[in-house]
Chains A and B, each alone.
Chain A
């Protein structure tokens, strides 16, 4: 049995998440990934912004930093550039990462800085009580979209890909068993990695959008997730309303802090 306790700050429990929330599932997958990679607790830094998902760092026994709303990647960039040997993981929500933090998101991907971002996509602002986010689907209900959202939503993974991320994967809380492998690959990738995880928020999203309970939401994840290999053989009509899961992008491109070290070597004042 995997010993989660070794990586948890047990004295900080109980956690703040609602019963049925998907965030804990992602936290556990992240710990399994770190364990599988045999990383020492001292070399791991977990940085977050603000939101329910962003409370993750408080519960895990690493160097942890809970920053300002949307800005986790900027703090993480400072850490990674200063100490490139540290393994920097950013935890973010869909609002945190793609609304207020959207600019930092595309630029971190563009730089291909070696940071692994785990974005918990619950299609809503959970912490503040259910306002619409950039991933709220067209027509879905939110406290600030009481008649159904009239805005089109981001496809977060494709946004990361377009901006230059070298590793992009999508998973779900339902497919928890595969999640650690995706996160593991993301951490292993030398460059900017995004792991988008579809998680259920029964409190702020589920209730408003006619899901009876958490199980109902997990069932939705199961029914709508299509592994990339399968999706490749499906027509656009068949994929309508569904989303792909698995490794979506895995390529190689020079990494920012490596390039910086090379720059230092080039210009360094001879002693």
Chain B
């Protein structure tokens, strides 16, 4: 079928088992909410338009606590409003998916135009140390599958997952072939098997991801955004806090290999590597194809998992290349990370755009030719 990116996101969410959506209208993400308003009740799922984005984020966390796979979607200013409760979900380890169809900012910015200027906010938007998973697909079929992975990661690792789309791929239409069941993996959150009396909701377990009981299922426990001990109750004990904070980081970092998703083309033997993600990676791919037709050796590394950052891969590319050209639609956000990781082992350049217009293939080609 021929669908819009936002629609593909909905189809992926429903396939992943999403049964709860709360949101607040905002361009360019509203289609996700509108389609779910019509689809969820048909399958017994729950939909609610809340009074603002803060409320939507709260409702999603509440729903997830009862055991439903839950999602919200927003853009720009709405993403800013969600931040406090995203931190709550990180601290209390509540699975949830937050879609941000990026538009230009800051503030009301460019409501109907695209940008990738929220990639650092997606990582650090809420206060306090925390890990988070952020995914940025580039094509409509990839939006579908990445949305499923967003749910899988949220559930298995008990964490908020941010799915970063942008106005371009959110509104663009492309062919989507729905993958057959045997190509789709669905993960659920770990649930307790012990007696309710023995249940410790934040127990230190081998996996670092404690089982999560559904509210109302007979396991009565306490959930708080305060620093808490294994029983879920607030504590000021530095030793316990140290242990919990380290576990919260470790439960994502030790599973990096399961979380990394990326596409690479022609890295072998290419002294110039384009590094791009989301809609801008489409221009990078086109630039690479055109340049290779001119017999220029150019490769492309396209991370779908932006956070945790693909450090190992970038280190490898930095060692093997002469130039990394980062292409992104912002003032230069991910380029900082590439510079940090590549430690001057290669030359890092930025090709960007922040005026609502996409980065173009010719812009990228020009930069490549300049350094070739």
Contact = CB atoms under 8 A, between A and B. Distances in A.
Contacts of A224: none
B90 to A, nearest CB: 12
Interface of B is mostly: mixed
A63 B85 contact: no
A268 B58 contact: no
Contact of A79 (B50, B55, B65, B218): B65
Contact of A75 (B58, B67, B68): B58
B42 A83 contact: no
Interface stretch (B25-33, B223-231, B359-367): B223-231
Contact of A42 (B51, B61, B216, B224): B216
A66 B225 contact: yes
A84 to B, nearest CB: 10
Interface in B10-63: 20, 22, 41-44, 46, 48, 50-52, 54-63
B260 interface: no
Contacts, number: 133
Interface in B198-256: 215-218, 220-226, 233-234
Interface in A229-271: 260, 263-264, 267-269
B344 interface: no
A55 to B, nearest CB: 9
B223 A66 contact: yes
A67 B58 contact: yes
B58 A68 contact: yes
Contacts of B224: 58, 65-66
B42 A66 contact: no
Contacts of A263: 41
Given A45-B216, A67-B88, A82 B63 contact: yes
Grouping DSSP codes into helix (H, G, I), strand (E, B) and loop, the A interface class, with mixed when no group exceeds half, is helix
Given A58-B234, A68-B85, A82-B46, A107 B216 contact: no
B66 interface: yes
A78 B61 contact: yes
B46 A267 contact: no
The winner among A43, A47, A71 for most chain B CB atoms within 10 A is A71
B345 to A, nearest CB: 43
B357 interface: no
Nearest to B59: A78
A67 B54 contact: no
Given A66-B225, A267-B41, A71 B54 contact: yes
Given A45-B215, A66-B226, A268-B42, A61 B220 contact: yes
B70 interface: yes
Contacts of B64: 78
Interface residues of A, number: 40
B66 A82 contact: yes
Interface in B237-281: none
A36 interface: no
Contact of A78 (B58, B217, B218, B233): B58
Contacts of A12: 233
B254 to A, nearest CB: 28
Contact of B43 (A83, A103, A269): A269
B84 interface: yes
Nearest to A266: B41
A9 B197 CA distance: 13
Interface string A12-41: 100000000000000000000000000001
B223 A71 contact: no
A83 B215 contact: yes
Given A78-B60, A104-B55, A68 B84 contact: yes
B50 A77 contact: yes
A86 interface: yes
A267 B42 contact: yes
Contacts of B88: 67-68
15 contacts: A43-B216, A65-B215, A68-B225, A74-B62, A75-B65, A76-B62, A78-B64, A79-B65, A79-B215, A82-B20, A86-B215, A86-B216, A260-B41, A264-B44, A267-B41
Given A58-B233, A74-B56, 19 more contacts: A43-B216, A58-B234, A62-B220, A66-B224, A67-B58, A67-B225, A74-B54, A74-B58, A74-B59, A77-B22, A77-B50, A78-B65, A79-B62, A79-B66, A81-B20, A83-B66, A263-B41, A267-B41, A269-B42
